[in-house]
């Protein structure tokens, strides 16, 4: 799959470890960088507050986000939860804007 400009919004170390396990590895070694290129062409990791992710995805500023289900519910953001990931202390989901078709992701 090739992306033109895909941003994963992430915060927690467990999310980074999950992405690395599926082959998406950060290219930069600066731990303080907010935008990090990855081993996948066109894919960048953007470090943001977990509670901001649903709103950012809903606005279209990012194509995907990994955040807690509770933040999706509390934000009332119009996003679709695609995948329930089994890590971390809370339920984490992958969210996209509802206007997208799930098959296109």
Tens digits of per-residue pLDDT, 15-26? Answer: 888 888 888 888
**Has residue 12 been placed in a domain?**
yes
Domain span including residue 36 = 6-104
pLDDT at 2 over 60: no
Q: Bigger pLDDT: 92 or 16?
A: 16
Q: Phi and psi for 49 in degrees, rounded to 5?
A: -70, 135
**Has residue 69 been placed in a domain?**
yes
**Has residue 1 been placed in a domain?**
no
The pTM of the whole model exceeds 0.75: no
Helix ranges (DSSP H) in the chain:
13-21, 53-59, 69-75
pLDDT at 11 over 60: no
**Has residue 85 been placed in a domain?**
yes
Look up the CATH number of the domain holding residue 11.
3.40.190.10
* Residue 38: count of CB within 10 angstroms of its CB: 19
pLDDT at 39 over 80: yes
- What's the domain count of the chain? 1
Q: What is the pLDDT of residue 1?
A: 45
Mean pLDDT, the chain, as a whole number? 78
pLDDT at 27 over 90: no
Q: Bigger pLDDT: 3 or 94?
A: 94
């Amino acid at each position: 799959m090739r992306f033109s400009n895909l941003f994963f919004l992430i915060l927690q170390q467990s999310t980074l470890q999950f992405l690395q396990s599926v082959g998406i590895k950060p290219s930069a070694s600066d731990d303080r960088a907010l935008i990090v290129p990855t081993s996948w062409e066109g894919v960048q990791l953007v470090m943001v507050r977990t509670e901001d992710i649903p709103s950012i995805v809903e606005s279209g500023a990012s194509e995907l986000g990994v955040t807690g289900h509770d933040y999706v519910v509390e934000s009332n953001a119009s996003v679709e939860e695609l995948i329930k990931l089994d890590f971390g202390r809370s339920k984490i989901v992958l969210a996209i804007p509802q206007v997208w078709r799930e098959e296109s992701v």
